Structure 1
Amino acid sequence: MTESTRRDWTPARWLRIVLPAVVLIVWLLAASFGGPTFGKLSSVSKNDQAAFLPASAESTKVNEWQQKFTDSNAIPAIVVLASDATIPKSDLATFAQLGTKLGAVDGVQAPEGSAKTSVAGPIPSEDGKAVEFIVPVADSNNVKSVIAELRTVVADNTGADVRGYVTGPAGLTADLVNAFGGIDGILLLVAVGAVFVILLLVYRSIVLPFLVLFTSIFALTAAILVVYAFASWGWIALSGQSQGILSILVIGAATDYALLLVARYREALAHVESKWAALGRAWKAALEPIVASGVTVIIALLCLLFSDLNSNKSLGPIAAIGIVFSLFSALTLLPMLLVLFGRVAFWPFRPKYAPDDAHPHAHVSQERVAGLEGISGLWRRVGTVVARRPRVTWVVALVLLLACGAGVLQLKANGVSQTDVVLSHSDAAEGQKVLARHFDAGSGSPVVIISDSDKADATLAAVKKTDGITTATLYTGSGRPASTSPAMSPPAPQPVQKSGRVLINATLASEADSQQAEDVVRELRRTLPAVDSGVLVGGVTAIALDTNVTAQSDLIKIIPIVLVVILLILMLLLRSILAPVLLIGSVVISYAAALGVSALVFNHLFHFPGADAAVPLFGFVFLVALGVDYNIFLMTRVREESLGLGTRPGILRGLGVTGSVITSAGVVLAATFAALAVIPILFLVQIAFIVAFGVLLDTVVVRSLLVPAVSYDIGRAIWWPSKLSRAGEVPSRADVGLSGE
């Protein structure tokens, strides 16, 4: 069927008025409710690492027992006061007054019984140059404000010769929340600004970038409204990292889908005069690849539901919700905006209508390379290279990717210390260093051990003998960890028992979030069962250890699931087995290459201490799902062209007409993910680089060279076992009357 004989849909006059009005009103309503909700997401966001562990984790079980003993969810903050000179013992009375003021801060746990304060301290260091207080923060929902007030009290009550820090689990959590503060505004502003500049350069239009951005932002507001509701109802657990990824993913995906539809619309405007008819053609042509792409990403993200780590499990539906609204927005809101503006949307370079017989590539072409008729510039040169030397092209591209992938052996994704998570200045991180110099570095963040009461003494003795443990005490109901100071060690009452169990607090010699501390926890879990078969080892260090172990287990489990699911989707879409297998292989190689280069950059350029254990999994899900997106955009067009031209000319034609569109989409997505780097969180910065670099690598090398060259080299067998694999090649485009951009 030629362009001139194709039947175009033009709706009735009343429908041309009602349809845009209804669609715009619906999206405006969604934005009016979702927009104000954006600033409220942080109120339902949790960044407590313990909340993301599965119920089966040993540290989760210890947390449950610990609440039975203490009947409190208080998080310890440690106040450290240090001086270059020895602190006179006479000053301890003054510091005791500071302890009372710290205990009076709103949000600090109230004292029990007749105690004047719940704050433990002042506890002097052995070198006499520091004192510490252990402050239980009971208001876990407002840790940021409580820690800020504690820091104010410390600053107001210390002299110039004494440096004060608020650290410990509560202090580190507060600094983490502070670092996430830019997600509500800075991140979105940077991402939108980057996309706007790129769209201006791509379209050289003033109007169109606004239409595309409106599509993305409206999709984000609708997604935020649903995510906020689900988080408020307790259906999903929202974290700062999920919140940031949601914003970036929606803007990037919605813009990508919009670019594909806009390209088809501009193409159609050159062949039909009616903007409604052009929209009909564009929408019909773009529907399959956009829906297939969106569904692929959604299903890949939902595979995270198989994760045992609740933070990963929650990200799946959160991100999937974002993609759903990106799809809806690109297929409903954007078409109505395009048809309202028509050719004016492309001003000042508006596409001009020309009859089909006015297009030079509608006639028999004298071009030497079949399939590149009407293609000019860069993509003609790329297509020519693919056509003349397909095997050399894909072998060189493959060798380059494999060389990049060799660096993956240097990736250190075993987790990092909590003091390294925040890349900006952190008072708590500085305080941890001071604490480690003057005290047992693990004080305030003890290892928590639950043991049978009949075996309490034997378990306690075994804990004390363990290398890396400085002190260990049975919990007696005071609510205070064991102290190394004799002044803080009065005769202890009988240990508290709950259901035949006792609780032991053990102080670590090393920092609670260090690798050395994790090794101590592993040793306790290895040796203590010989004393008490039902013993449980938990605490801050155990939580970090269990999180890393679970994340690494998720990586092994989820990767095969995602690959199988995407492979099946591609088989249904392309009606082929061989092509999807090659596409999956290409994106896996691309992922390994991106991870390899990232490892080298992290280690030798940025000098990062390591990477979160979840980084490889998140990078895989995003890169594989989004990398397949571009291959879907390419191969659906190639298949469409191959039906009329034959496979090899169809490959060149599909590459030529989608080249600028897919490249633009890749640049936009890379820019949006790169915007994550403005949030000074190690995990987000690393994900930003991996995905941004990986998307560019996939767009420039995999989709532009590797996939087309391999497909061209194989020929029509690429469509095996469908009928297209047995169809004869069509030498000329004139016989089918198809057109491109």
Structure 2
Amino acid sequence: MDKILGRLSQLVAGRRSKWITLAVWILLAGGLSAVWPSVNSMERNNAANLDANQPSVIAEQLAEQEFPSDSGIPALTVWTREGGLTDEDYTRLQELTSYFTANPLEGMELVLPLEQMPLPALKQQASEDGTTWVLPFFFAKGAETDVMKTGMEEIRSQAETIFEKDPFDAKLGDQGLVARVSGPAGISIDAVGLFSSADVSLMIATVLIVLILLLLIYRSPILAIIPLIAVGFAYGVAGPILGKMAEQGWITVDSQAISIMTVLLFGAGTDYCLFLISHFRQLLTEEKEKSKALAAAVKGSSGAIAMSGFTVVIALLVLLLAQYGSVQRFGVPFSLSILIMGIASLTLVPALLAILGRASFFPFIPRTPEMQTERAKRRGKPNRHPKSKASAGWIGRTVTKRPWTIFIVTTLLLGVLASQATRIEYTVDLLSSFPEDTPSREGFAVIADKFTPGELAPVKLMVDTEGKDIDLQGTFSSLPYISQVSTPADGKTNPNIRAIELQLNVNPYSNEAMKHIPELRQTAESLLADEGIGEPENKVWISGQTATQYDTENTNARDTKVIIPIVIGLIALLLLVYLRSIVAMVYLILTVVLSYFAALGIGWVVLHDLMGNAAIQGLIPLYAFVFLVALGEDYNIFLISSIWKKRKVMPLKDAIREGVNETGNVITSAGLILAGTFAVLATLPIQVLVQFGIIAAVGVLLDTFLVRPFLVPAITMLLGKAAFWPSKEGRLGQESVEDTVK
């Protein structure tokens, strides 16, 4: 492998090949963008997250078949006025529905004909205090979010004409009429809007944070731009490929996946570039010929870069095994983008460095001592010897002198932090991840306050009665967590199937509501069994948002149990193949897993104790695990690769000290940049990204400043030669045990 990668610089960064390499990337990015659609244009934000075998999905299909009048997606428009709605308000609402009855919107399935109802009847459906009325507009099942958004904009425009001002623009608490849109349609519109508005701002913020950190760390404007160029080309190639795959129906992409993919590309991509660039800069202080220095840099770092990138690609591909759609849709975009970024860092970056040479590091150009002397003579100034770096090696010296102390302190610290993860509360409530001033969340708050919270998303329960008269309404009305039960309805094609709608007296999106789903099922099955109906477990169906979230929680739990062990196993296998050491593989995996739980613990303290979040999204642990374990191993691989190579020519103690000191600066700078890019997510108005960004940034910082410089070297020092077991590669002649542990 080293020989193959050693020839890489000659193939991509030779005197002529460097220009060919650059031209190939320009043609690839430009050509693919010209002929294939961009990935952003192929986003599909209403793709199903649960597969067809989930109970709530089966129930939804049955509801559409037997009770088609309820098959639309409701946009619940909430109309409220402090002091009570007026007769004029009701009259204008009748005008609004009359207009859309005569002028139906694209994708709209049903408009309630309020104009056919007398005012007294309308007032009876208002809230008890007469201040609020909920008017639903039903869009066709499967309607695209963009279609629903356009429809609601037309409703808002017409309301502004009829009411002579825009009630959707008024603030809650104002004296006039205030309107909001909530319900499944409103939530979907807000979710897509939040992610869509975040795309551009996220891209700009990510580029700026990477550029600023690179300038602060390396103080070279040219060097700061090189990784950004590489990431730009990688995105320019990956985007059209993903767009074409989505166009062909091979994959599905959504706004959330593209947003996180952008951050991942800039963060991890910049890391790979820096691993090569830092090695090149170091060798330029030892080798006068830039081409030889670059060849040595590519040979010395490409193995670790390739292994690091491959580890991340494999870990991300495991997401394809997820059953939950939102997680599964991450697999291909993330892994493909990292694969292309890895190729760019091993081909395009060497070509750019070959073209720019030492000027890449302007104004702090690295030179050999001889070049420094010649330059000083030409300028007629005394040669300034570089400052001693003794002070910079204190970490390496400390780790090798006091490995037990370092091991005990870091392990205890990480353990204490990880213990906080046991306090975490999880939720799958999408609405709670929105900012409090989001229209759909404000609308829900009004409904919960003026009516019952369960009215926003009722639970539909269907049973096969086999023709028997079963008291569904009476049975479920007696349950303490049910506020209202509808009159039973008979199925359209099978009258033996009867359905009731249940309004919970708690937030239907909450964990408390989800706990009632198995209770409702058990109650219905017991009722059927008491009536002598056989196999009642196959004759009860529950649909609605609460049931969907219950299945979502179970699916997330299944994905976590399946994906995490597979990711650990695959990364362990890759480490074993690369390092040929079972012992090293085990402790490298364990340190990163411990760091992951510590990141969850710190994240919970920040999100819950400091920011007031009652719970974090249920997908966060799985997202964070895959990213932190895969990316954390990047830094371990880069460090251990250095130690392993130096172990061939010096005692292990010296190899650890030199390896820590040699990789310290580049890993620190890479970690800061990666953490900074994840932290950008915390600036967005979407709680799921805020939570993921904070936990991922904390995890990267723990790996960068605690696990990599202290814990891993300390363990390696304590294990001594056993760290290489069973491989004998890298042992230094007849070195005595005393030389190793002194």
Q: TM-score range by the shorter chain?
A: 0.7 to 0.9
**CA apart distance, 1:179:** 1.1
Q: What residue in structure 1 maps to residue 3 of structure 2?
A: none
Give the whole-Å Cα distance in 1 for the aligned partners of 2:420 and 2:662. Answer: 34
SS at match of 2:690: helix
Q: Are the aligned partners of 1:590 and 1:697 in contact in 2 as well (CA < 8 Å)?
A: yes
Aligned CA distance change for structure 1 residues 211 and 452 (closer, same or farther; 3 Å): same
**CA apart distance, 1:53:** 1.1
Counterpart residue identity of residue 289, structure 1: A
Give the whole-Å Cα distance in 2 for the aligned partners of 1:114 and 1:656. Answer: 75
2:390 is the counterpart of 1:393: no
2:118 is the counterpart of 1:106: no
Q: What residue in structure 1 maps to residue 82 of structure 2?
A: 84
Q: What residue in structure 2 maps to residue 544 of structure 1?
A: 549
**CA apart distance, 1:652:** 0.9
TM-score with structure 2 setting the length? 0.86
Let me know the Cα RMSD of the aligned residues: 3.2
Q: Deviations over 1:355-388 (max 9, x none)?
A: 79x9xxxxxxxxxxxxxx9982554111111122
Q: What residue in structure 2 maps to residue 669 of structure 1?
A: 674
Give the whole-Å Cα distance in 1 for the aligned partners of 2:218 and 2:471. Answer: 71
2:33 is the counterpart of 1:24: no
Q: What residue in structure 1 maps to residue 379 of structure 2?
A: none
Q: What residue in structure 1 maps to residue 685 of structure 2?
A: 680
Give the whole-Å Cα distance in 2 for the aligned partners of 1:381 and 1:387. Answer: 10
**CA apart distance, 1:200:** 1.0
Match of 1:217 among 226, 232, 247: 232
Aligned CA distance change for structure 1 residues 113 and 515 (closer, same or farther; 3 Å): closer
Q: Are the aligned partners of 2:111 and 2:136 in contact in 1 as well (CA < 8 Å)?
A: no
Q: What residue in structure 1 maps to residue 200 of structure 2?
A: 185
Give the whole-Å Cα distance in 1 for the aligned partners of 2:277 and 2:259. Answer: 27
Q: Are the aligned partners of 1:475 and 1:503 in contact in 2 as well (CA < 8 Å)?
A: yes
2:58 is the counterpart of 1:54: no
Counterpart residue identity of residue 220, structure 1: Y
Structure 1, unaligned runs of 5 or more: 1-6, 359-372, 477-493, 732-741
**CA apart distance, 1:660:** 0.2
Give the whole-Å Cα distance in 1 for the aligned partners of 2:444 and 2:190. Answer: 13
Give the whole-Å Cα distance in 2 for the aligned partners of 1:63 and 1:411. Answer: 32
SS at match of 1:717: helix
Aligned CA distance change for structure 1 residues 306 and 694 (closer, same or farther; 3 Å): same
> Within 5 Å, which residues of 2 pair with 1:166-177?
166-177=181-192
Counterpart residue identity of residue 588, structure 1: V
Q: Are the aligned partners of 1:74 and 1:140 in contact in 2 as well (CA < 8 Å)?
A: no
Q: Are the aligned partners of 2:415 and 2:594 in contact in 1 as well (CA < 8 Å)?
A: yes
Give the whole-Å Cα distance in 2 for the aligned partners of 1:347 and 1:264. Answer: 16
Give the whole-Å Cα distance in 2 for the aligned partners of 1:100 and 1:114. Answer: 7
**CA apart distance, 1:673:** 0.9
2:65 is the counterpart of 1:68: yes
SS at match of 1:51: coil
Match of 1:163 among 172, 175, 178: 178
Match of 2:507 among 498, 506, 511: 511
**CA apart distance, 1:474:** 6.4
**CA apart distance, 1:678:** 2.7
Q: Are the aligned partners of 2:472 and 2:488 in contact in 1 as well (CA < 8 Å)?
A: no
Q: What residue in structure 1 maps to residue 376 of structure 2?
A: none
**CA apart distance, 1:91:** 5.3
SS at match of 2:48: helix
Give the whole-Å Cα distance in 2 for the aligned partners of 1:670 and 1:498. Answer: 57
Aligned CA distance change for structure 1 residues 405 and 231 (closer, same or farther; 3 Å): same
Give the whole-Å Cα distance in 1 for the aligned partners of 2:190 and 2:422. Answer: 32
SS at match of 1:537: strand
**CA apart distance, 1:51:** 0.8
**CA apart distance, 1:584:** 0.8
Q: What residue in structure 2 maps to residue 426 of structure 1?
A: 438
**CA apart distance, 1:443:** 2.3
Identity of aligned residues (%): 32
Give the whole-Å Cα distance in 1 for the aligned partners of 2:655 and 2:387. Answer: 13
2:123 is the counterpart of 1:141: no
Give the whole-Å Cα distance in 1 for the aligned partners of 2:70 and 2:44. Answer: 18
Which range is displaced more, 550-559 or 720-729?
720-729
Aligned CA distance change for structure 1 residues 15 and 223 (closer, same or farther; 3 Å): closer
Give the whole-Å Cα distance in 2 for the aligned partners of 1:440 and 1:9. Answer: 67
Give the whole-Å Cα distance in 1 for the aligned partners of 2:218 and 2:682. Answer: 26
SS at match of 1:588: helix
2:263 is the counterpart of 1:263: no
2:267 is the counterpart of 1:247: no
Give the whole-Å Cα distance in 2 for the aligned partners of 1:652 and 1:113. Answer: 75
Q: Are the aligned partners of 1:237 and 1:310 in contact in 2 as well (CA < 8 Å)?
A: no
Counterpart residue identity of residue 55, structure 2: E
Aligned CA distance change for structure 1 residues 277 and 638 (closer, same or farther; 3 Å): same
Give the whole-Å Cα distance in 1 for the aligned partners of 2:494 and 2:59. Answer: 13
SS at match of 2:329: helix
2:599 is the counterpart of 1:591: no
The count of corresponding residues between Structure 1 and Structure 2 is 690
**CA apart distance, 1:10:** 8.7
Q: Are the aligned partners of 2:8 and 2:298 in contact in 1 as well (CA < 8 Å)?
A: no
Q: Are the aligned partners of 1:275 and 1:339 in contact in 2 as well (CA < 8 Å)?
A: yes
SS at match of 1:166: strand
Q: Are the aligned partners of 2:639 and 2:708 in contact in 1 as well (CA < 8 Å)?
A: yes
SS at match of 2:134: strand
**CA apart distance, 1:111:** 4.6
Q: Are the aligned partners of 1:106 and 1:146 in contact in 2 as well (CA < 8 Å)?
A: yes
2:43 is the counterpart of 1:45: yes
> Within 5 Å, which residues of 2 pair with 1:631-650?
631-650=636-655
Give the whole-Å Cα distance in 2 for the aligned partners of 1:8 and 1:622. Answer: 31
Q: Are the aligned partners of 1:421 and 1:682 in contact in 2 as well (CA < 8 Å)?
A: yes
**CA apart distance, 1:272:** 2.8
Give the whole-Å Cα distance in 1 for the aligned partners of 2:213 and 2:597. Answer: 27
**CA apart distance, 1:690:** 0.5
**CA apart distance, 1:354:** 4.7
Q: Are the aligned partners of 1:442 and 1:512 in contact in 2 as well (CA < 8 Å)?
A: yes
2:454 is the counterpart of 1:452: no
Q: Are the aligned partners of 1:77 and 1:444 in contact in 2 as well (CA < 8 Å)?
A: no
Give the whole-Å Cα distance in 2 for the aligned partners of 1:419 and 1:102. Answer: 28
**CA apart distance, 1:117:** 9.8
Aligned CA distance change for structure 1 residues 195 and 36 (closer, same or farther; 3 Å): farther
Give the whole-Å Cα distance in 2 for the aligned partners of 1:609 and 1:199. Answer: 36
